[in-house]
Structure formats: C-alpha cells, structure tokens
Amino acid sequence: MFIMEFFKKNKNCSHHNVAPDVDFAYCPDCGELIENQWYLLRCSCCGVKLKGIIKNGEIIPEKHFCHNCGTKEFVIERIDKINFIDINYAVLVKAVVENRNISYTQSWVSKTQDCKPKLLQQSL
C-alpha cells in the first residue's frame, strides 16, 4: 500500500497550460483564476542577479552562493512586468487568486395593516 502512494496522480493542478505572457488567466484544466507572478533574486551584498529555482515551494538561488562576491544571502524581488533581459534569471509562480466574498446588506419592511410595503431606496 505504501508503494502505491508514490504512483498515484497528483490531485493538485499545476496550471501548465496557463500562458506565461499574461498577467491573469483561467486555467483550462481546473477552471481557477491564475495570476502569473514573476520574482527576481539578487545578491544582498552586491546586487547581482542570481538564477532562481523553486524547491519545495520556496524560491531559492540555483547556486547556493553569489558568483560575484561569494555571499550566501539573497533578496527576493517581485517584478510587475518581465522584460527579455531578466527572463533567464526570473522565476514564475502561478498563484491561484482567491475568490473574494462580497457582503450584501438587505433591508426588509414588515407589512402593517393598511400599509403596502414599498421598495427602499439604496444609497451608494
């Protein structure tokens, strides 16, 4: 039974069919709204761009040290739009946009003996 768990399909959608060149898109496989988020890693000491990868859900540098100064510390920077210069260094994260619940306020008028209920005016 334990070995069969390795061969089961992953039930979470990985959103491979969402194009990376759009900001928001619906996944054709699962139907959820996906936001493409681009991240760039920089050395915290000298500011050189580092190639990044996603490992266990975290964004980390491909090499564990800076090729320019040798430090191991880095800074993750989110960029709004990707340009062709940063495409080799950037990491793409396809995040699911959570549905925001909109709260509604309803008003009810109780019916009295001789009064017919009228619609209440809604002010914005």
The predicted-structure confidence for 66-79, as pLDDT tens digits, reads as follows: 888 888 999 999 99
Dihedral sign computed on CA atoms, order 12, 34, 36, 29: positive
Residue 45 lies in a domain: yes
Question: Could you tell me if 81 and 21 are in contact, meaning their C-beta atoms sit under 8 angstroms apart?
Answer: no
CA–CA separation, 91 and 54 (whole Å): 8
pTM for this one?
0.67
The greatest distance separating any two alpha carbons of the chain, rounded to the nearest whole angstrom, comes to 86
> Residue 41 contacts by C-beta under 8 Å, 6 or more apart in sequence?
49, 50, 51, 52, 59, 60, 61, 74, 75, 76, 77, 89, 91
Residue 110 lies in a domain: no
Sequence length of the chain is: 124
pLDDT given for residue 15 in this prediction = 86
Residue 60 lies in a domain: yes
Total number of domains in the chain: 1
Average pLDDT over residues 51-73: 89
Mean residue pLDDT of the chain comes to: 82
| Residue 42 belongs to domain spanning | 37-99
The predicted-structure confidence for 83-103, as pLDDT tens digits, reads as follows: 888 889 999 999 998 877 667
Residue 58 lies in a domain: yes
